[in-house]
Amino acid sequence: MTVIDAPATGPDWSSAASNANRRRRYAADRRLRIYGLTAIIIAVGVLVILLATVLTGGASAFVQTRVTVEFTIDPELVSADNIQRGNYRQIITNAVAELFPEIADDRTALTAAGRILTSNAQFFVRDAVVADPSLIGRTLTLAIPASDPFDQLNKGTIARDLPEEQRRVNDRDTALFDQLVDRGLVSTPFNWGLFFNADSRFPELAGLRGAIIGSFYLLLVTLLVSVPVGIAAAIYLEEFARRGRWSRLIEVNINNLAAVPSVVFGLLGLAVFINFFGLPRSAPLVGGLVLSLMTLPTIIIVTRAALKAVPPSIREAAYGIGASKHQMVLHHVLPLALPGILTGTIIGMAQALGETAPLLLVGMNAFLTAAPGGITDAATALPTQIYIWADSSERGFVAKTSAGIVVLLLFLIVMNAVAIFLRRRLERTW
Amino acid sequence: MLGTALLLILGMSIVAFIVGRASGRRFLRASGSSIHSLPSYHGLFVAVWVGVPALVLVLLWAALSGTIVDSLLLASLPDSMTTGVTGAGLDLVLSEIKNVAAGLLFGEPRPEIVEAAARLNRWDALAGWAMVVVVFALMIVAFAVARTRLAPRFRARNAFERWLSGLMIAASVGAILVTVGIVVSLLVESLAFFRMVPIGEFLFGLNWEPQMPIRADQVAGLGAFGAVPVFLGTIVIATVATLFAAPVGLFTAIYLVEYASERVRSVVKPVLEVLAGVPTIVYGFFAVLTVAPAIRSTGNSLGLAASPNSALAAGVVMGIMLIPFISSLSDDALRAVPRSLRDGSLAIGATRAETVRKVMLAAALPGIMGGVLLAVSRAIGETMIVVMAAGLIATLTINPLDSVTTVTVQIVTLLIGDTAFDSPKTLAAFALGLVLFLTTLLLNVIALRIVNRYREKYD
CB contact under 8 A, B324 and A43: yes
Closest in B167, B178, B444 to A296, CB measured: B178
Summarised one tens digit per residue, pLDDT across range B98-141 is 777 777 666 677 777 778 888 888 888 888 888 889 999 999 99
Summarised one tens digit per residue, pLDDT across range B385-418 is 999 998 888 888 888 888 899 999 999 988 886 6
Which long-range contacts does B35-41 make (Cβ < 8 Å, 24+ apart)?
B35/B152, B35/B153, B36/B152, B36/B153, B36/B154, B36/B155, B36/B156, B36/B157, B37/B154, B37/B155, B37/B156, B37/B157, B37/B158, B38/B157, B41/B156, B41/B157, B41/B160
- The whole-number pLDDT of residue B320 equals 95
For residue A233, list chain B residues with Cβ-Cβ distance below 8 A: 168, 171-172, 174-175
- The whole-number pLDDT of residue B454 equals 67
Distance CA B22, CA B19 (A): 5
Distance CA B278, CA A286 (A): 24
Neighbour count for residue B174 (Cβ, 10 Å): 17
- SS in 3 state form for A347-406? HHHHHHHHCCHHHHHCCCCCCCCCCCCCCCCCCCCHHHHHHHHHHCCCCHHHHHHHHHHH
**Range list of β-strands (E), A182-341:** 186-187
- Measured CA distances, B208 to B109, B205, B211, B389, B406 (Å): 40, 8, 9, 19, 11
Question: How many angstroms away from the CA of B360 is the closest CA of chain A?
Answer: 14
> DSSP character for B32?
G
Mean predicted lDDT score pLDDT of chain B: 86
Q: What DSSP letter does each residue of A335-346 carry, written as one string?
A: HHHHHHHHHHHH
Q: Which residues contact A36 (CB under 8 A, 6 or more apart)?
A: B251, B252, B254, B255, B256, B258, B259, B260
Cα atoms in the 13 Å half-sphere on the side-chain side of B373: 19
CB contact under 8 A, A44 and B271: yes
Distance CA A225, CA A281 (A): 19
- The whole-number pLDDT of residue A52 equals 93
Distance CA A178, CA A160 (A): 12
Using the Cβ of A55 and the Cβ atoms of chain B, whether some distance falls under 8 Å is answered with no
Summarised one tens digit per residue, pLDDT across range B174-197 is 888 999 999 999 999 999 999 988
- The whole-number pLDDT of residue B11 equals 93
- The whole-number pLDDT of residue A175 equals 85
CB contact under 8 A, A409 and B354: no
Neighbour count for residue A275 (Cβ, 10 Å): 17
Distance, C-alpha B63 to centroid of its chain: 20
Summarised one tens digit per residue, pLDDT across range B253-267 is 999 999 999 999 999
Question: How many angstroms away from the CA of B384 is the closest CA of chain A?
Answer: 6
Summarised one tens digit per residue, pLDDT across range A143-164 is 889 888 888 888 887 777 778 7
Distance CA B140, CA B273 (A): 54
- The whole-number pLDDT of residue B421 equals 67
CB contact under 8 A, B168 and A398: no
Q: Which of B250, B281, B425 to mutate to test binding with chain A, by most A CBs within 10 Å of its CB?
A: B281
What percent of chain A is helix, strand and coil (3-state, nearest 5)?
A: 65, 5, 30
Using the Cβ of A397 and the Cβ atoms of chain B, whether some distance falls under 8 Å is answered with no
- The CA R_g of chain B, rounded to the nearest whole Å, is 31
The burial of A247, by beta-carbon neighbours within 10 Å (0-12 exposed, 13-18 middle, 19 or more buried), is given as middle
Closest in B182, B283, B415 to A268, CB measured: B182
Q: Which residue of B has its CA nearest to A387?
A: B281
CB contact under 8 A, A296 and B181: no
Q: Which one is the CATH code of A209-426: 1.10.3720.10, 3.20.20.70, 2.60.40.10, 1.10.630.10? A: 1.10.3720.10
- The whole-number pLDDT of residue B222 equals 60
Q: Hey, where are the domains in chain A?
A: 64-189, 209-426
- Residues 121..160 of A with a Cβ closer than 8 Å to B: which? none
Pairing of strands A186-187, A66-72: antiparallel
8 Å CB contact between B456 and B431: no
Ordered structural domains, chain B, with CATH: 2-156 (no CATH), 224-458 (1.10.3720.10)
- The whole-number pLDDT of residue B287 equals 93
Give B84's pLDDT tier (boundaries 50, 70, 90).
low
Does position B425 have pLDDT exceeding 90, yes or no?
Answer: no
SS3 A79: coil
Give B166's pLDDT tier (boundaries 50, 70, 90).
very high
For residue B380, list chain A residues with Cβ-Cβ distance below 8 A: 261
**Range list of β-strands (E), B43-168:** none
Q: Which residues contact A89 (CB under 8 A, 6 or more apart)?
A: A122
Region of residue B406 (left: phi > 0; alpha: psi -120 to 50; beta: else): beta
Distance CA B433, CA A270 (A): 12
- The whole-number pLDDT of residue A249 equals 85
Q: What DSSP letter does each residue of A195-233 carry, written as one string?
A: HHS---SSTTT--SHHHHHHHHHHHHHHHHHHHHHHHHH
SS3 A70: strand
- The whole-number pLDDT of residue B15 equals 94
SS3 A408: helix
For residue B161, list chain A residues with Cβ-Cβ distance below 8 A: 324-326
Neighbour count for residue A71 (Cβ, 10 Å): 25
- The whole-number pLDDT of residue B399 equals 86
User: Among B137, B163, B130, B118, which residue's Cα sits nearest to residue B62?
Assistant: B130
Print burial letters for A179-213: b (CB count within 10 Å at least 16), e (below 16): ebeeeeebeeeebebbeebbbbeebbbbbbbbbbb
pLDDT along chain A (430 residues), means of 10: 61 86 93 94 94 90 89 82 80 85 80 85 85 84 88 82 79 85 88 88 89 94 94 93 84 87 93 84 92 94 93 94 93 92 92 93 87 86 93 83 94 91 80
Over range B358-383, report the average pLDDT: 92
CB contact under 8 A, B282 and A50: yes
Distance CA A190, CA B391 (A): 37
For residue B445, list chain A residues with Cβ-Cβ distance below 8 A: 256
CB contact under 8 A, A267 and B185: yes
CB contact under 8 A, A412 and B277: yes
The continuous run of DSSP H or E covering A47 comes out as helix A16-59
The burial of B142, by beta-carbon neighbours within 10 Å (0-12 exposed, 13-18 middle, 19 or more buried), is given as buried
Q: How many contacts does A have with B, using Cβ atoms within 8 A?
A: 257
Distance CA B99, CA B81 (A): 18
Bridge partner list, A144 = A67
Closest in A257, A350, A361 to B178, CB measured: A257
The continuous run of DSSP H or E covering B210 comes out as none
CB contact under 8 A, A259 and B412: no
- The whole-number pLDDT of residue A377 equals 86
First to last CA, chain A: 49
Question: How many angstroms away from the CA of B282 is the closest CA of chain A?
Answer: 7
8 Å CB contact between A18 and A26: no
> DSSP character for B459?
-
Summarised one tens digit per residue, pLDDT across range B2-40 is 788 889 999 999 999 999 999 989 988 887 777 888 889
- Residues 271..310 of A with a Cβ closer than 8 Å to B: which? 271-272, 275-279, 293, 296-297, 300
Share of chain B above pLDDT 90, in %: 46
Residue type for position B186: L
CB contact under 8 A, B285 and A402: yes
SS3 B287: helix
Over range B433-457, report the average pLDDT: 85
Distance CA A230, CA B175 (A): 8
Question: How many angstroms away from the CA of B382 is the closest CA of chain A?
Answer: 7
- The whole-number pLDDT of residue A6 equals 57
Give B144's pLDDT tier (boundaries 50, 70, 90).
very high
Select the more confidently predicted residue: A119 or B1.
A119
Distance CA A133, CA B390 (A): 54
8 Å CB contact between A141 and A135: no
Distance CA A224, CA A150 (A): 46
Which long-range contacts does A166-169 make (Cβ < 8 Å, 24+ apart)?
A168/A395
Summarised one tens digit per residue, pLDDT across range A101-139 is 888 778 888 888 888 888 888 888 888 888 888 888 888
pTM equals 0.88
Share of chain A above pLDDT 90, in %: 41
CB contact under 8 A, B182 and A260: yes
Region of residue B343 (left: phi > 0; alpha: psi -120 to 50; beta: else): alpha
For residue A261, list chain B residues with Cβ-Cβ distance below 8 A: 378, 380-383, 408, 436-437, 440
8 Å CB contact between B185 and A268: yes
Task: Indicate if ipTM > 0.95.
Answer: no
